[in-house]
Structure 1
Amino acid sequence: MTIFGYVRPGSVGCDPRAARARILKAGCPERNIAEEQPVQPGERLTVLAATLGKCRPGDTLVVESLVQLGRSFDELDQAIRALAAGRLSLTVLDQPIFSEFTITALSSLVGALRDFSRLASEERRLMGIRSAKTAGRYRGSVPKVDRDAVSALAKQGLGPTEIARRLNVSRTTVYRLRNE
């Protein structure tokens, strides 16, 4: 069983030298500590992927905090799934409770938190839209085609495809307006 360490200096409150020292103290050899270079949002954490690629089943990955594994719930979930797929152990120095979780349980927890975060965000967005509608500040998009134009062309005997082409809208829009 080999111990690997991973440090991501861009994460909040992470001093790379201090993180490296703590990982060394946890029993990880210096040569097995990988440090991610600062990356822009949206770029892959390539050093993490390479480190996980070196690990064999039964190996342990040591990180200072869970935040090190990803910049979002999605990245964190991907990292934990990679740990599970490789049958690796995880030691989180700042949050030892996560080290006691099985990787599967941790993956389920992160997935649930990610879903909760998305649902809460969507709920807040919908509440804002309702509030704006009540205040008269949200009316939706401006209609792109006149219902009367669709009706007039339909009365001339044109089919939905030809009406859509002439009015520069989709056939779905033509069908929706005809059925209203």
Structure 2
Amino acid sequence: MWNNTSEYFDIPMVNSQYLYETDTVPFLQIVLKGNIDYYAPYANQGFYSTNSILKMIEYGAYPSFVVTESLNYELTDTPQVDRFTVNFDDWKSSIINIYQKINEALLPVEGAKIIDHKVMVPGIVRVSYDNGINLYVNYTAEDSVVENETIPAHGFSVVER
């Protein structure tokens, strides 16, 4: 099946939410990264936040959006009525900002495979790639130092090993 797949859209970005799970392991993303491009669910069709962007970076997922030229209210009585915020002009600056942030993180690992995914301490994740890059993601409200690297609060660091 994967041999016939060139892209994967709407890849899972959350865990099962079971109480006994302490952290997520992006198994599917680990298998696919470096083999095919995959995209997170539409960022403008649900709640998205800084943590959502960080999760895309951690999982190596590209953002996706559904946009139209139409104003949102013009979609009433159309098959797209349940698309509640899709006007491109409304989303243009957010799309650019999200793209720039994710591109900054993922461009250095373009085409590389994930070889390790480790929670260093609660809220700090290290993703190692086969091209010698470590990508650190900090979900906490404080700057953190891990493995002699300072990872900004609610941010990420791209480091060559």
**Fold conserved (TM > 0.5)?**
no
Asked which structure has the greater RCO (Cα within 8 Å, sep 6+), the reply is 2
Normalised to the residue count of structure 1, the TM-score between the two structures is 0.27
Which has the larger helix fraction?
1
Which has the larger strand fraction?
2
